[in-house]
Amino acid sequence: MRLFLLLLAFSVQAAAADRKAWTTLADCRYVAHKNNDGDSFHVRCGGEEFVLRLYFVDAPETNLTYAERTRQQAAHFGATLDETLKAGAKARVFVRDTLNTPFVVLTRKAHAQGAAKDPRYYGMVRVGGKGLDEILVLAGLARVKGVAVNIPGGEKARAHSQRLLVLEEHAKQKRRGLWARTH
């Protein structure tokens, strides 16, 4: 019975998160932090600072804290663990450099699990008119995986994921990022 109540409470929270409205936060800034990586990083938007976890993508890990995930990433790219970790470090620098000018965050402030002490929300980033998820995938520094949602403007999650998969295949064919040493 207790498990049932716990599951019920979780599904009510999840349903409430799905109904949350999207918020657009303009003039956001990347905040340097030791725990930043390619798909999760600190941002400041106005007076608010939080950790943003990107929807739709999974960038390689930078260490073996989550060893099983790192092994899955290596297998996905056909890479060694060492190559995957190096790509994770490259993704972290790539995101930092890509976000060196103000950018836009789209979020529903849905909580994303993580070890960070700061609030951690799922969201999307628009920089220079492009989605950071698309930029990372096309650079071969992220795989299409993770939490997906229907996005502002009416695009369905499935359509967005399919578009990202096309970009991933392009990156693979062009041997970009982590694909460079594989296949």
Q: pLDDT per residue over 69-122, tens digit each?
A: 999 999 999 999 999 999 999 999 999 999 999 999 999 999 998 666 778 999
Domain contains 14: no
What pLDDT sits at residue 12?
Answer: 40
Amino acid identity, position 153: G
Domain contains 152: yes
Q: Is the pLDDT of residue 10 over 60?
A: no
Mean pLDDT across 30-55: 96
Q: Is the pLDDT of residue 16 over 70?
A: no
Percentage of residues in the chain with pLDDT exceeding 90? 80
Domain contains 43: yes
Domain contains 75: yes
Of 43, 21, 45, give the one whose Cα is nearest residue 33: 43
Structural domain boundaries enclosing 79? 22-181
Q: What is the pTM of this model?
A: 0.87
What pLDDT sits at residue 61?
Answer: 95
Instruction: Kindly report the number of other CB atoms within 10 A of residue 103's CB atom.
Output: 20
Contact yes or no for 92/63 (Cβ under 8 A): no
What pLDDT sits at residue 20?
Answer: 81
Mean pLDDT of the chain: 89
As for how many domains the chain has, the answer is 1
User: Under the phi-then-psi rule, with left for phi > 0, alpha for psi from -120 to 50, and beta for the rest, what region is 14?
Assistant: alpha
Residue 124 vs residue 19, higher pLDDT: 124
Domain contains 53: yes
Q: What is the CATH number of the domain that holds 101?
A: 2.40.50.90
Domain contains 37: yes
Domain contains 135: yes
